[in-house]
Amino acid sequence: MTALHLRGVLLPEGRSRDLWVQDGLISTEPLEDAVTVFDGGYVLPGPVDAHCHVGIGPHGPVDLDEAANQAETDRAAGTLLIRDCGAPVDTSPLQARADLPRILRAGRHLARPKRYIPGLAEELEDPEVLPEAVAEQAARGDGWVKLVGDWVDRSVGDLAPLWSDEALGKAVEAAHRHGARVTAHVFGERALGGLLDAGIDCIEHGTGLDDAMIEQMARQGTALVPTLINIENFPSFASAAVKYPDYASHMRRLHRDSDRTVRRAIEAGVPVYAGTDAGGGIEHGRLVDEIVALHRVGMSREQALGAATWSARRWLGFAGLEHGAAADLVCYADDPRVDLDALRFPERILLRGDLVG
């Protein structure tokens, strides 16, 4: 296989250096007869969408061909690693395609009947079997399990928790015993205490976090993936909830306070990562929008870049631009530390050592 050569400013290091690529791996040592494919500019380790749903479309589950199209859209925008936060279809066959982003699957969402979007979750009639269901999803996925922490409870007309604190504690313990981490969809306030006390590894959205919860997350190292570009849809969710005025006003309040909530988490040292929530109502390929949003709410440009590249990769167990690391990287003409919109214009995309863009 022909060796490739790249020269540019490596991030986050910030120095101009040469890299070589062969057999899908990065080398910092020269390789003979390498073909130069990029010379001058900026090189980032493969960007990460830490909350994405390959396999879900605007009307629910999609077939594998459409799921592959979704992954291709993400790749074209520069996303090379996806943490898939729950899908109702088995997307594992896509992992065999070398031209698609790497996908870490969380299996199916775990929810209660009528307590999540229809057709997406495995619905548990008996909430006490949650630990067993978590163990099953841990065996099917790639190191993550996704819970629905809260959703509209029609009997109260507002967001409410799905699980008892006891069930959550046993569920997180079961996942960890099977080598998986646990994350949960949570919009409101009431479900968060039980999830954090159970030792959950990550919170998705997290718009109901208060300062005490944020401090607990910082102490525990619990990650937050706020999906800011999805939070932008909260007012429309509220407008559609004509039968549930309490829920509607609650969602508007969560939206109003969301920037402050995420900013407080960043300031407190909570690990915060970029995730779009693509699938359903969010189009694929919008990772840059989420990075820009993280900068808007309080991250420096470099922090926002890290939340979608080197820091996110390390969190998920993947290396950056290191000797011997997988050659998943994206090259840009302009410095994204100066202007994040530079990320919208990738010059070269290497995935598993092959040029795919």
CATH number at residue 166: 3.20.20.140
At 163-211, the pLDDT tens digits run 999 999 999 999 999 999 999 999 999 999 999 999 999 999 999 999 9
Amino acid residing at 160: A
Distance CA 353, CA 164 (A): 47
Q: What is the pLDDT, as a whole number, of residue 254? A: 98
Do 120 and 77 belong together in one domain? yes
Do residues 213 and 196 lie in contact, with contact meaning Cβ atoms separated by under 8 Å? Answer: yes
Is 350 a residue whose pLDDT tops 90?
yes
At 113-151, the pLDDT tens digits run 999 999 999 999 999 999 999 999 999 999 999 999 999
Report the percentage of the chain scoring pLDDT > 70.
Answer: 100
At 11-21, the pLDDT tens digits run 999 999 999 99
User: What residue spans of the chain are helical by DSSP H?
Assistant: 64-76, 130-140, 165-177, 192-197, 211-220, 228-231, 234-240, 245-268, 287-296, 301-308, 310-315
Domain CATH code at residue 22: 2.30.40.10
At 277-289, the pLDDT tens digits run 999 899 999 999 9
Q: What is the pLDDT, as a whole number, of residue 280? A: 87
Do 114 and 155 belong together in one domain? yes
Do 308 and 329 belong together in one domain? no
At 324-343, the pLDDT tens digits run 999 999 999 999 999 999 99
At 30-85, the pLDDT tens digits run 999 999 999 999 999 999 999 999 999 999 999 999 999 999 999 999 999 999 99
Do 305 and 330 belong together in one domain? no
Q: What average pLDDT does range 336-356 have in this prediction?
A: 98
At 219-276, the pLDDT tens digits run 999 999 999 999 999 999 999 999 999 999 999 999 999 999 999 999 999 999 999 9
Do 132 and 200 belong together in one domain? yes
Do 254 and 217 belong together in one domain? yes
Length of the chain: 357
Q: Into how many domains does the chain fold?
A: 2
Q: What is the pLDDT, as a whole number, of residue 322? A: 97
- By residue range, what is the domain housing residue 59? 48-315
Do 199 and 83 belong together in one domain? yes
Q: What is the pLDDT, as a whole number, of residue 1? A: 78
- pTM here is 0.97
Q: 226 preceded by cis ω (within 30°)?
A: no
Do 53 and 40 belong together in one domain? no
Average pLDDT of the chain is 97
Do 55 and 177 belong together in one domain? yes
Q: What is the pLDDT, as a whole number, of residue 177? A: 98
Written as six digits, the tokens of 52 are: 């994405």
Do 82 and 23 belong together in one domain? no
Do 239 and 349 belong together in one domain? no
